Structure 1
Amino acid sequence: MDRLLRLRRRLKARKPEFRRYESHKKLRLRDKGWRRPRGRHSKLRQRYGGKWSGRILVNIGFGSPKAVRGLHPSGKEDVLVYNPQQLEGIDPTRQAVRIAASVGMKKRLMIEEKAKEMGIVILNPTQR
């Protein structure tokens, strides 16, 4: 597992930042991320001539290993929690807790206290 997490980190460091086709021309498309070109005559979709040669397209080869896909960098599965009762079904060996942003300070402290008793890792603890 640790080997695969290290491999994923190395692969992500080499992965390019995929940009939407012609996003440099339209302000509203600037930072929206990748979208597949779907136009009927799109040169990028057809991979025609020099239109796509310098551009790196999204493809399956840039993916991370299946066993660690979607895991937190610590190697644990990320579980979103809204109240202390949800901590009951969590396995501390393979899962970690992220407290939802909409949870207030009073309930957040209750969740943190209960998680500490149960030995569960909190990914976004309160800054004190």
Structure 2
Amino acid sequence: MAKKFRRQESQKRKRVKNKWRRPKGIQSKQRKEIKGKPPLPKVGRKKPEEERGIHPSGYREVLVHNTADLEKINENEAARIGGSVGNRKREAIQQKAREKDIKILNPTETGD
């Protein structure tokens, strides 16, 4: 599991959300990396290369814009339908993915 980095003072103040922002204050204890303060992200903290880019479901993501793109997907990859794809083409992609037993990471919820 990847380490979550805390925003400075987010554990103390309700108005400061926990989304990462780099501490820039001249006397900032977190920027100076004082013991007991939350850690800073560094270059050496990457995941191993084979683990990068994997969706939490365990599949590698492949961006799909039409049904022909589904032909290139293998068993350890999942499709993510592009945001610019309209409803008609999205339904066609989802139908073909069901036939080929391909997982779609962002399916449209049908209201029926």
Once superposed, which parts of structure 1, at least 4 consecutive aligned residues long, lie more than 6 Å away? none
Aligned residue pairs, count: 108
Which of 102, 105, 108 is residue 120 of structure 1 equivalent to?
A: 102
Q: Give the % identical residues.
A: 44
Structure 1, unmatched stretches of 5+, are 1-10
Cα contact 2:5–2:41 (8 A) shared by 1: no
Q: For 1:91 and 1:110, locate their aligned partners in 2 and report how far apart those are by CA, in whole Å.
A: 16
Q: 1:62 deviation in Å?
A: 6.4
Structure number with greater CO (CA < 8 Å, separation at least 6) is: 1
The aligned runs of 1:1-128 (5 Å cut-off) are 11-12=1-2, 15=3, 17-23=4-10, 27=15, 30-31=16-17, 33-48=19-34, 53=36, 55-59=37-41, 64-88=47-71, 90-128=72-110
Q: Give the TM-score of the pair, scaled to structure 2.
A: 0.66
Structure 2, unmatched stretches of 5+, are none
Give the structure with the higher percent helix.
Answer: 1
Q: Give the TM-score of the pair, scaled to structure 1.
A: 0.60
